[in-house]
Structures are given as C-alpha cells and as structure tokens.
Chain A
C-alpha cells in the first residue's frame, strides 16, 4: 500500500524568506503526487500536481514542487513567503489503477509566517 510522510509537523519562516516543505512517499510505481493547502476551518485546495513529464511542476500562488524518483520525494517550494501563506499543507499520493482518484494523505505541515 502507498504511504506519505511529511517529516515536519510545524515550520516557521519569516515573511519574504524562502520555503521548502518536505514530502516522501512510498509506492511501487510512478505515482500521482499532489500538494494541497488548507486554511483554518476550511476545505483543502489543490496547489499543484505531478502525473508525468517535467519533474518540476508549477502551481498556484507562486508554489512549485520537484519530483525526485531516486529520493521518493516531492518537496514543495516557494522563493518568497507571504503572510497569507500561513496554513496547513498536505502532500498526497494517488493510485494509478482502477481506483483512480483515491489518494493517501500525509499528516500535514503547519506553516507559520513571522512578520
């Protein structure tokens, strides 16, 4: 079965600083990979996804992520963090078979942005 690990439970960065959120996955083949963001008391919103092709993926709100097969990683990055980026971030791996659409989520990383 697939699994996702987000090693950092909580990260604090200063506004304007760069950000990297880590995600490691376990899956027997090339996975679908996603990053979602959740504001307090809200649902999740897709930031970006990888399913094939270019391993550097661009998303909304200035985020990007890089798929590294050799490291089983899909880290999320942003060059300059804004106060509005404070939220919880979830990495997810999707299954490529007849259960297409079912995903496994990591436990999330909470991002705090210092002024």
Chain B
C-alpha cells in the first residue's frame, strides 16, 4: 500500500533539546511538506521541498530545520530555538511540478510533540 508514514505518533521532549520527526513516503512524489497545527489555527506551512536536495522556508520556519537527501524522506528537526514547539505536526506529499489535474496533497497521520 502506498502512503506516508510519520513516526513517532507521540513525542515528548525536555526544554532545550532538539528533536527530529520522521516522514517517509512511497508514492514516488517529488514534493513534500511540513505543517504545524495548533487548535483553532488550521495548518501553517513550516518547510516544503519540490525536489531532492532542495527545500524552501514556509510561513513559520524559524526554529525548525529540514533535509531532503532522498526522494522518499523529509525529516523535520525542531530545535531548541523554537519558542513554543508543543503542537501537532503533519507531513504531506504531492506529485509536484509535473502534476496534473489538481495536484492534491496526501497526508501522514501526524506526530504530536509535547515539550515538558
């Protein structure tokens, strides 16, 4: 079955620690995205990547970093510089630049990060 996996589902971190959230897809999609979701605020784009070895900042990139060394993987690191990291994090992918007919996004199940 093709899809997107995120791990872990729940993650706890102490203040001042960096933590990396995993996102893997086997849909052969070029584009991948990270969103942060807080209650009542919808989805806010953190970073996105349209192709391997390339990525761009989204609307709220401060305190986060990403890498895209492989097409199927797009890990997100939440650094200690992120002032309020407790949130629900969603990874998504889409066909990308060559997409036709709408180019919708496919989402993983999410990771809930709690800073203790």
Contact = CB atoms under 8 A, between A and B. Distances in A.
Interface residues of A, number: 26
A67 interface: no
A16 interface: no
A44 B107 contact: yes
Contacts of B90: 43-44
Contacts of B112: 41
B2 interface: no
The residue among A32, A43, A103, A107 with the most chain B CB atoms within 10 A of its own CB is A43
Contacts of B43: 44, 90, 105
A100 B107 contact: no
A78 B92 CA distance: 26
Nearest to B112: A41
Nearest to A50: B102
A42 B104 CA distance: 18
Interface string A31-72: 010101000011111100111000000000000000000000
B97 A98 contact: yes
Interface of A: 9, 32, 34, 36, 41-46, 49-51, 90, 92, 94, 98-103, 105-108
